């Protein structure tokens, strides 16, 4: 099963969700690969993997210099592997715009190794460019993290257009994940619920709340389960993982 966490709005908890869902899947004995497809490399850093500029990473895979299997690293989480990224991916992404079938490169690179992993989680960049197109093309399902705020749905239609263009018109394996919820902001939440009504059937039941433990886990470069397994953030991501396993057994 290949899933992408994708939205071209920053600050929605996309990388936090990618890391913690991947770690949670590994914790329930699912061999999992996390692909960092963001040139900022936040998923890599969040798992305490920081690369030198020339170190092999997903940029070399998309430029077809090496195979995906050549760059995958073990992480400190048993059962979780990482295909890391760094800033070199940005220049590779620019070079892909002139290439034939540029949006299919990640999918092709996954084919020889797909059977090694029960789940593949892709962390996308906050942009609707060639990297996100590669993730969407390779994915069986797309999770769209959405922060509960007045402009949270900006550009959602553009992302859905891209999904339906690259998959097929009636592709339905996309879901909205509500993130960074502050229970004190009741008026904002009521307004946001109205905005969401057209997408009500696509919203995942699990919600991710703002917690200090999640912020501190990011600073510590650990998944929430390694940092504070009894925290509300850990509970939220355990629930999300179980929901996804129920949707895609």
Provide the pLDDT for residue 31.
98
- Distance, in Å, from the CA atom of 139 to the CA atom of 18, rounded to the nearest integer, reads 14
Provide the pLDDT for residue 147.
84
User: Is the confidence at residue 121, as pLDDT, over 90?
Assistant: yes
User: Is the confidence at residue 191, as pLDDT, over 80?
Assistant: no
- Distance, in Å, from the CA atom of 220 to the CA atom of 76, rounded to the nearest integer, reads 13
Name which of 23, 52, 18 is nearest 38 in CA terms. 18
Mean pLDDT of 37-54: 96
Mean pLDDT of 198-218: 95
Contacts of 243 (CB under 8 A, 6+ apart): 204, 205, 206
Provide the pLDDT for residue 186.
67
Provide the pLDDT for residue 170.
83
> 2-247, which class in CATH?
alpha beta
- Distance, in Å, from the CA atom of 41 to the CA atom of 46, rounded to the nearest integer, reads 8
The CA dihedral of 210, 23, 159, 186, to the nearest 10 degrees, is -20
The DSSP bridge pattern shows strands 2-5 and 141-147 to be parallel
- Distance, in Å, from the CA atom of 33 to the CA atom of 30, rounded to the nearest integer, reads 10
Confidence of residue 151 (pLDDT cuts 50, 70, 90): low
3-state SS, residue 86: coil
User: Is the confidence at residue 137, as pLDDT, over 70?
Assistant: yes
- In sign, the C-alpha dihedral spanning 208, 248, 227, 132 is negative
Residue ranges of E strands in 71-133: 73-74, 80-83, 119-123
Mean pLDDT of 48-77: 96
Name which of 128, 127, 21, 39 is nearest 80 in CA terms. 21
Name which of 114, 106, 130 is nearest 33 in CA terms. 114
Provide the pLDDT for residue 11.
80
Q: Which ranges constitute the DSSP H helices of 98-211?
A: 105-110, 130-138, 156-166, 186-196
- Distance, in Å, from the CA atom of 224 to the CA atom of 7, rounded to the nearest integer, reads 22
Whether the Cβ atoms of residue 119 and residue 1 lie closer than 8 Å to each other? yes
User: Is the confidence at residue 67, as pLDDT, over 70?
Assistant: yes
The DSSP bridge pattern shows strands 203-209 and 73-74 to be unpaired
- Distance, in Å, from the CA atom of 155 to the CA atom of 6, rounded to the nearest integer, reads 12
- Distance, in Å, from the CA atom of 169 to the CA atom of 164, rounded to the nearest integer, reads 5
Provide the pLDDT for residue 188.
64
pTM flag (> 0.85): yes
């Amino acid at each position: 099963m290949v899933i992408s966490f994708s939205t071209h709005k920053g600050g929605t908890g996309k990388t936090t969700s990618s890391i913690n869902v991947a770690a949670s899947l590994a914790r329930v004995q699912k061999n999992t690969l996390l692909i960092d497809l963001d040139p900022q490399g936040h998923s890599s850093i969040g798992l305490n993997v920081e690369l030198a500029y020339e170190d092999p990473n997903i940029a070399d895979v998309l430029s077809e210099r090496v195979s995906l299997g050549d760059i995958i690293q073990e992480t400190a989480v048993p059962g979780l592997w990482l295909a890391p990224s760094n800033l070199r991916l940005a220049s590779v992404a620019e070079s892909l715009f002139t290439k034939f079938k540029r949006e299919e490169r990640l999918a092709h690179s996954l084919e020889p190794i797909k059977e090694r992993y029960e789940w593949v989680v892709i962390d996308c960049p906050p942009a609707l460019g060639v990297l996100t197109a590669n993730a969407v093309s390779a994915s069986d399902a797309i999770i769209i993290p959405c922060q509960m705020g007045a402009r949270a749905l900006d550009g959602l239609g553009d992302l859905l257009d891209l999904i339906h263009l690259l998959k097929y018109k009636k592709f339905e394996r996309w879901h909205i994940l509500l993130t960074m919820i502050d229970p004190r902001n009741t008026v904002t939440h009521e307004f946001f619920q109205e905005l969401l009504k057209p997408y009500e059937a696509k919203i995942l039941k699990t919600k991710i709340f703002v917690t200090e433990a999640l912020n501190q886990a990011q600073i510590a470069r650990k998944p929430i389960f390694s940092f504070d397994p009894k925290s509300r953030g850990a509970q939220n991501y355990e629930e999300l993982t179980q929901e996804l396993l129920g949707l895609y057994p």
